[in-house]
Amino acid sequence: MALGSETIGRKLLWSIGLPGLVVALLGVWHFSRETRQAVREGTHLEALALAEFVSSTFTLPQAPGAAPHGAVAEVLTSDTRLFRSVEDLRVLTPDGRIRWSRRPAEQGHPHPEAARLSATGQEAARTIDHGTEVVRPLGGPECSGCHTGEAAQRMGVLQVRLGEPALHRQLQTMFGDALGAMVLFVGILALVTWLSLRFVLTRPLKRLSEVMGRAESGDLLVRADARGTDEIARLGAAFNQMLARLTSMKVEEIDTHRDLELVKEKLALKDELEERLLELSLLFDVARSLNTTLELDELLSRITRMVVERLHIPDFSIMLLNEDGMLEVKHAWPKGRGLEGHTFAVGEGACGRAAQTRKAVYLPDLTDSTSIFARRGLRGGSEQGSLLAVPMVHAETLLGVINFQRPETACFSAEEIELFTAVADQAATAVTNARLHAETVKLTLTDALTGVPNRRHLFQRLDLELARAQRFGVPLALLMVDVDHFKRLNDLAGHRAGDETLRRVSDVLRTRARKVDTLGRYGGEEFVLLLPQVSKATAFEVAETLRRAVAESGGLGRPGLPGNHVTVSIGVAHFPTDANSQETLVDCADSALYCSKRTGRNRVTCFEAGMEMHPGRERSINAPPSDAPTTPPAPSGIAKA
């Protein structure tokens, strides 16, 4: 409680002392007024009585031979106690001259106020400065004894002026002394009252107010002075009890607040733990979903579907680094916008910047023209919202970039960016595994030396093409190609030169084959070429073209061989002209090849009935089982040639 000039003591002092002082002053003023009024009335009566006394002297009998009205002159000049308070006593003639006066020098002279005095119609007394004046007309019956006629009715005017009575002065002195005594008494009473209020009421209340102020500012350990038995002491004791209860409540509040903070912290940790568990669950689902397939296209489809459904990303695209070093869109969502195949250079746009820096690039507002990364976006994509581009990096190798986009601005939190980065890392691992799987599959189906399909892949393709030919009734030709004098080449130039020759021959054959044709290494120095939907004559022409291409290739010149050049022999078999099954078709092509080798090499031979029965050829069905080795034994007769 703030202490100012308006304290309780002063309020009480003013509320008690000031009304008492006003009442006392009013009482003194009232009694003084009544006293003055009584003195004034008494003075008036005294003046009237004196005037009547003086007037009665005119009726006194005259001594023989005495001056007229000698008694009046004697009365006016007498110094009796009756006339001690008289200041002026004059008798004026009707014409305004002073006939008799206590001041003999005035007699016979006109009175300066004769007009006023003569105008008085009847006896009147009035109060003047420091006295009382009575004007009494003279005449009438009291003068009829000496005067007759109308002159007796108006003989003159009697003026009596009395000074201020001594009683009035004494009363004024008494009231002045009484007023001073009262002021002194009021002052002493006010001082005593003030001291009493200060020590009995104001100071204890001030100390209590200070204690309350400290308690209000938060100091609940302070206590008020409760000594004594008066109301203030009891108020202090009650206030101390209230502070004690407040202290207990504050302690309980602190304990409760601490408990609430602990509970709040635990709840926050629980929420954070749940979020982390949800993220881990999501990452586990991502890893499990991505690791269930090793097909790259299926993998990218799953990544797209998972991001849209689980991460609630309405606009998404995944880019992979192609052979030209460009970021190419492989999959995008929503579908049908034509984003697939769209390319970015590394360093171009937000995705290119992410690929260049190997760090996530976040654009909170795509409409912000000040962002250099927002100048180019995906054609067909949204041009507003926020974009997050996260690179896919595995073992320090850049694989591509994943773009997450939402229509709202600044809607990716730091936790989401961290989660999406982890998803991109999982996707990078899955893409790496898919590519490794593709490479492994390619190695299992491709000849390591020449790069063409190996024997296993070749016969799988033959089964497929033969089944298609049987179902749709279309022809199928099989060309079996063998490098002439390959054993002599190895003996003369070494096996490294033989391997190089096989690679160049396969290159010549591959460049001349159609996209629908299948070229594979059959084993050793033998190759097989499948020609779907060609006649036997066309197959012969193709074989002849291949033979000439090998014979005329500038890179296949070899000294020591016939003609100092590598040549090939080719056998041609046709379905359904020559065979109706895989085993028979291969055997027919092998028989025709044997005929080409037997009849001089560097030539093409089409299968004819009976070739498979030549006595110099060991008959053998060369179709391998599904688990046959990739390098089968050479057909009978060919290795010998």
| pLDDT for position 540 | 95
Long-range Cβ pairs for the range 7-14 (8 Å, 24+): 7/202, 7/205, 7/206, 8/197, 8/201, 8/202, 8/205, 9/194, 9/197, 9/198, 9/201, 9/202, 10/202, 12/193, 12/197, 12/201, 13/190, 13/193, 13/194, 13/197
Q: What is the pLDDT of residues 368-427, one digit of tens each?
A: 755 544 445 454 455 678 899 999 998 889 999 999 998 888 888 888 888 888 888 888
Contacts of 263 (CB under 8 A, 6+ apart): none
Q: Is residue 175 domain-resident?
A: no
- Kindly indicate the confidence band of residue 476, based on its pLDDT and cuts at 50, 70 and 90: very high
Residue-level pLDDT at 482: 95
CB atoms under 10 Å from CB of 365, counted, come to 16
In this prediction, residue 467 has a pLDDT band, given cuts at 50, 70 and 90, of very high
Read off the pLDDT of each residue in 494-520 and give the average, rounded to a whole number: 92
Could you tell me which of 554, 549, 542 has the C-alpha nearest to residue 514?
Answer: 542
State residue 165's pLDDT score.
67
On whether both 412 and 299 belong to a single domain, the answer is yes
Asked whether the predicted pLDDT for residue 629 surpasses 60, the reply is no
Nearest CA-CA partner of 434 in 400, 477, 470, 479: 400
478, 497, 479, 477: which is closest to 487 by C-alpha?
497
Q: Is the pLDDT of residue 479 over 60?
A: yes
The residue to which tokens 């927002």 are assigned:
374
Distance CA 110, CA 118 (A): 12
Q: How far apart are CA 146 and CA 397, in angstroms?
A: 163
Q: Please enumerate in sequence order all residues whose Cβ is within 8 A of that of 538, keeping only pairs 6 or more positions apart, or say none.
A: 477, 531
Question: What CATH number is associated with residue 525?
Answer: 3.30.70.270
d(CA 154, CA 547): 190
Shared domain for 509 and 574, answered yes or no, is yes
Decide if pLDDT at 490 tops 50.
Answer: yes
Distances (CA, A) of 487 to 262, 324, 454, 497, 546: 87, 41, 21, 11, 21
Interatomic CA distance for residues 630 and 641, integer angstroms = 22
pLDDT at 596 > cutoff 60 = yes
285-330 pLDDT, tens per residue? 777 766 777 788 888 888 888 888 877 888 888 999 988 889 999 8
Residue identified by tokens 């997050």 is: 388
Same domain (yes/no): 409, 555:
no
Is residue 25 predicted with pLDDT exceeding 80? no
Return the sign of the alpha-carbon dihedral for residues 67, 72, 76, 77. positive
Give the full edge-to-edge strand order of the sheet including 361-363. 343-344, 327-333, 315-321, 397-406, 386-394, 361-363
Residue 57 has pLDDT above 70, yes or no: yes
Number of independent structural domains in the chain? 3
Q: Could you tell me if residue 170 is inside a domain?
A: no
- Domain-located, residue 44: yes
Identify the burial level of 560 via C-beta atoms within 10 angstroms of its C-beta, where 0-12 means exposed, 13-18 middle and 19 or more buried.
exposed
Q: Looking at the predicted structure, is the pLDDT value of residue 72 above 90? A: no
The domain boundary, picked from 125, 149, 164, lies at 164
Q: Please check the confidence at residue 337 and state whether its pLDDT lies above 70.
A: yes
> Using an 8 Å Cβ cutoff, are 316 and 404 in contact?
yes
List the structure tokens of 343: 């390319």
pLDDT at 639: 35
Q: Is the pLDDT of residue 203 over 90?
A: no
pLDDT value at residue 304:
82
Residues 379 and 464 in one domain: no
Q: Are residues 403 and 309 in the same domain?
A: yes
Nearest by Cα to 408 from 366, 350, 351: 366
Is 611 in contact with 620 (CB distance < 8 Å)?
Answer: no
Residue 61 confidence (pLDDT) above 50: yes
| Structural domain boundaries enclosing 80 | 9-60+74-164
Chain segment 552-595, per-residue pLDDT in tens: 998 898 888 888 999 999 999 999 999 999 999 999 999 999 99
pLDDT of 202 higher than 60: yes
d(CA 454, CA 473): 27
Is residue 514 a part of any domain in this protein? yes
Judged by DSSP in three states, 570 sits in strand
Look at residue 589 in the predicted model and tell me its pLDDT.
Answer: 95
Do both 451 and 436 map to the same domain? no
**Region 269-277: what's the mean pLDDT?**
80
- Residue 352's region, left for phi above 0, alpha for psi from -120 to 50, else beta, is alpha
Residue 637: the pLDDT is 36
pLDDT at residue 199 is higher than 80: no
Domain containing 308 — which CATH number? Answer: 3.30.450.40
pLDDT at residue 4 greater than cutoff 50: no
Q: Is residue 146 part of a domain?
A: yes
Average pLDDT over residues 590-619: 87
d(CA 640, CA 597): 10
Do 498 and 515 fall into the same domain? yes
- Residue 287, token pair as written in the block: 């890893």
Among the ranges 188-197, 217-226, 272-281, 473-482, which has the highest mean pLDDT value?
473-482
State yes or no: pLDDT of 628 exceeds 50. no
- Helix (H, G, I), strand (E, B), or coil: what is residue 397? strand
Q: How confident is the model at residue 127 (pLDDT cuts 50, 70, 90)?
A: confident
The residue that leads in pLDDT, 308 or 621, is 308
- Tell me whether residue 4 is in a domain: no
Residue 13: its pLDDT value, please?
Answer: 65
Q: Do both 458 and 595 map to the same domain?
A: yes
Distance CA 318, CA 427 (A): 10
Between CA 232 and CA 244 the distance in angstroms is 18
The reply to whether 431 and 313 lie within a common domain is yes
470 vs 278: which has the higher pLDDT: 470
Share of the chain above pLDDT 70, in %: 84
pLDDT of 141 > 70? The answer is no
Q: Which of 393, 418, 443 is the last residue of a domain?
A: 443
293 phi/psi in degrees, rounded to 5? -140, 150
User: Which of the two residues, 12 and 632, has the higher pLDDT score?
Assistant: 12
Q: Which of 117, 140, 164 is the last residue of a domain?
A: 164
Residues 13 and 147 occupy one common structural domain: yes
d(C-alpha 220, C-alpha 213), whole Å = 10
Q: How many residues does the chain have?
A: 641
pLDDT at 616 over 90: no
**Averaged confidence pLDDT in the chain:** 80
Closest CA to 585 of 611, 621, 610: 621
Q: Are residues 91 and 23 in the same domain?
A: yes
Give the pLDDT score at 67: 66
Look up residue 111 and give its DSSP letter: P
Q: Could you tell me if residue 280 is inside a domain?
A: no
Name the one residue in this structure whose structure tokens are 């000049």. Answer: 77
Is 442:420 a contact under the CB 8 Å cutoff?
no
Q: Are residues 83 and 117 in the same domain?
A: yes
Give the range among 422-436, 458-472, 499-513, 531-545 with minimum mean pLDDT. 422-436
Most confident range, picked from 21-25, 194-198, 262-266: 262-266
**Domain assignment of residue 206, yes or no:** no
CATH number for the domain spanning 105: value is 3.30.450.20
Cβ atoms of residues 504 and 452 within 8 Å: no
Structure tokens at 98: 């002073």
* pLDDT at residue 76 tops 60: yes
